[in-house]
Amino acid sequence: MGLLGILAAVAVLVWVWLVGGHGMFWRTDVRLPRRESPARWPSVAVVVPARDEAAVLPCSLPSLLAQDYPGEAEVYLVDDGSTDGTAELARRLAAAAPGLPLTVVHPGEPGPGWTGKLWALRHGIARARAARPGGPEFLLLTDADIAHEPDSLRELVCAATSHDLDLVSQMARLRVVGFWERLIVPAFVYFFAQLYPFRRINRPGSRTAAAAGGCVLLRTTAAVRAGVPDTIRHAVIDDVALARAVQDSGGRIWLGLAERVDSVRPYPALADLWRMVARSAYAQLRHDPLLLAGTVAGLALVYLVPPVALVAGLAAGRPATAWAGAAAWLLMSGSYLPMLRYYRLPAALAPLLPLTALLHLLMTVDSAVQHYRGRGAAWKGRTYDRPAQTPAPPEPFV
């Protein structure tokens, strides 16, 4: 059968396990759980970290201000050193479309050991807690590029109160307009779900933890108990770190796909998507060269070997190799179809998943290269590296 045939056979076995025994990661029916309205609507503070977001704010901020929420709610936009007039634009948008009250917070440059987003969240949360006795009961942490339907906050709160959840997170539906967005974005979500199967995360007692940072509803008591964001202040992949901190402190977490929460940030060129993935890919591997090597080998075996085996097997007259490659490729493509349907994209894109996986592999390697060149996790003019030492203890969480 040859080495390639053996590798293709192994790929088939891996795909049989992935499809049937890996938390059904490929299914896209994990949506907000069945929920009922609470007897009393808890208070909520919506905290939006924003750094140079004037381009997307007109599409996102009005949707937050227009939330149809029966309880007390207010929005805190944290202007993280923007140079494009983000804060002034936010105030104009709030004046033009009155709704939930808006407060703009200016935290200054991040302290030592802090990433910009978590520094902004810390100050937004502190301002929200200081604004009312006892602080808000829930915090909605949402990115500046996320647009919410009018009932989004209400449904998130209903899910949390109905199931006694401490953290409810939804993976926002990302934009898929241009060619590169259609090719890469659904696969990005698919790979994330493969790494963190939603059903496994949501199972009581599970040790798998993750969240989607664009939309996180968090109980304030859970945040205090977990000491966040202070305890995760250096995390580049802050959403996963947040979910882990809440879970480790005894909180219950839930993650699923969104139906009425969308990202409006465009990624029109391959370079835009490349930067988005590469900035945190090596951090996801804990900056470990052995994990990087294992990841590259795993991606090659699972995603690249099947089409190569099919083509090479046909060309060399090795039917067993060709059949093994075809079977693995078919399983792979079939598991990708639900994600394409979720994004309302044609099924014809499914066989292109190996190409997308190759691009993700190259992005991951580039992430490691940039890390060792001192440019790891670069985003909006800042570069975050693995902490060389434990940062000094922060001030008490307020």
In DSSP notation, 52-92 reads: S-TTTHHHHHHHHHT---SS-EEEEEEE-S-SSSHHHHHHH
User: What is the pLDDT, as a whole number, of residue 378?
Assistant: 65
226-276: per-residue pLDDT in tens?
A: 999 999 999 999 999 999 999 999 999 999 999 999 999 999 999 999 999
- The continuous run of DSSP H or E covering 244 comes out as helix 238-248
In DSSP notation, 302-354 reads: IIIHHHHHHHHHHHHT-HHHHHHHHHHHHHHHHHHHHHHHHTT--GGGGGGHH
φ/ψ bin of 320: left (φ > 0), alpha (ψ from -120 to 50), beta (otherwise): alpha
> How many whole angstroms separate alpha carbon 354 and alpha carbon 171?
23
The amino acid at 323: W
328-359: per-residue pLDDT in tens?
A: 999 999 999 999 999 999 999 999 999 999 99
User: What is the pLDDT, as a whole number, of residue 134?
Assistant: 86
The amino acid at 28: T
User: What is the pLDDT, as a whole number, of residue 163?
Assistant: 96
For residues 209 and 167, the answer to whether their CB atoms sit within 8 Å is no
Taking CA atoms, 205 is separated from 21, 163, 248, 253, in Å, by 18, 14, 11, 10
* Mean pLDDT, the chain cut into blocks of 10 residues (398 residues total): 93 97 96 95 98 97 97 97 97 93 96 94 97 93 98 98 98 97 98 97 94 97 97 94 97 96 97 93 93 97 98 96 98 98 98 98 96 77 56 37
Q: Residue 149 in 3-state DSSP?
A: coil
For residues 321 and 309, the answer to whether their CB atoms sit within 8 Å is yes
User: What is the pLDDT, as a whole number, of residue 394?
Assistant: 39
Question: Which residue in 53, 243, 63 sits closest to 151, CA to CA?
Answer: 63
User: What is the pLDDT, as a whole number, of residue 356?
Assistant: 98
> How many whole angstroms separate alpha carbon 276 and alpha carbon 66?
29
Mean pLDDT over each residue of the chain, to the nearest integer:
94
Question: Which residue in 64, 217, 211 sits closest to 155, CA to CA?
Answer: 217
353-372 and 319-342 helices, crossing angle to 10°? 80
